[in-house]
Every structure is written in C-alpha cells, then in structure tokens.
Amino acid sequence: SVSVLEKGFVVEDFKDTPNLIETDPNVSPPLKGVFKSNPQYYLVKKLDDVVYNINEKNFQLVDVRSAARFNAEVPEPRAGLQRGHTPGAFNVPFNMVLQDRKILPRDQLATVFTNAGVDLNKPIATSCGSGVTAGVVSLALYSIGVDSAVYDGAWSEYGQEKLSLPVLPKTGQAKY
C-alpha cells in the first residue's frame, strides 16, 4: 500500500499534535519480518528501451524537463550533456501538472497531455533530467487512470555526449 503526501509536511500543521510524528518510547519497535516485493518491470524503461523506441515507437516518451531545456535553448545543468531531447519525445514540463504544489484536477490533466500531443490511449513512459520529476508526471497520469513507465536513466544518461545518441534539435549541442 502506498500513500502520497499531497502538500508536504509543514510544522505549523502539527503544532497542536506534538506526538504525531514522534514515536512513543513505551512502544516496541516492529519485529523483523520478510518483505516480499512484486517488481513490475514494465513500469521501468532502460536506455536500450528508449533507443530502440526512437524507430519502433512502442511507447510515447514524455520528457518532463522545462521547455527551454527540451528545446536546447539553455545549457544543461550537468557538464558533459548534450542539449535538446530524444527524437519523437513530447514535452510536458512537470510544473504543468501542478497547481499550488498539488496535482491538477483530473479534468484539467487530460487537457495538459492532449495539448502536448500525447495520446492517453497509447503506452507512455516519462523521463526527466535525473530520474526524479518524471515520477510526478507518472503519478499525475495514474490519477487519471493511465499507467506509465519511468525511464529512470533520464537525460543524465541518454544525453551524455560520450554516448553520441540521436538528439533534437541537432544545432543545440553543448559546448564545454
């Protein structure tokens, strides 16, 4: 079972409940147990999957970095990375699915994706700069009933200059 804290912890929220976060010293810690995982590998994409997908188009890659980074208009924050995006990727910056630090209402989310050209009836994988904010957009997709994988290597893997993988726009190569 998983829960998502929608707005984060704010100390002021807990001023009247000081023991809510603290542990009771009279309560024994949980006993050791066996955790049994159920990996769902189809929800994780690897570099080979993304490279293969450029031609095969088995899923839509949604790049959640800023439009300026996606379009190679600004340098990447990490040295050694190309500017631009994976060919065929759609750009839905992660902040487009948020309002006041919360995921947009369902009716607005579908519009955000379709306006970016994403077909919500076809397989989707999200990607970002380092493998973190893609999860925000995958959660937003999940909230409207759409499963999506996450490319956890992200741009920090795919965009490495030393890999020389295809990138668009071609004129946006980084100079370091």
Cβ atoms of residues 128 and 32 within 8 Å: no
Catalytic residue among 81, 89, 109, 128: 128
Whether 40 is a known active-site residue: answer no
Cβ atoms of residues 173 and 159 within 8 Å: no
User: DSSP states of 99-140 as a string?
Assistant: ETTEEPPHHHHHHHHHHTT--TTS-EEEE-SSSSTHHHHHHH
Q: Residues, the chain, total?
A: 176
Phi, psi of 134, deg, nearest 5: -60, -35
Q: Which residues are catalytic?
A: 128
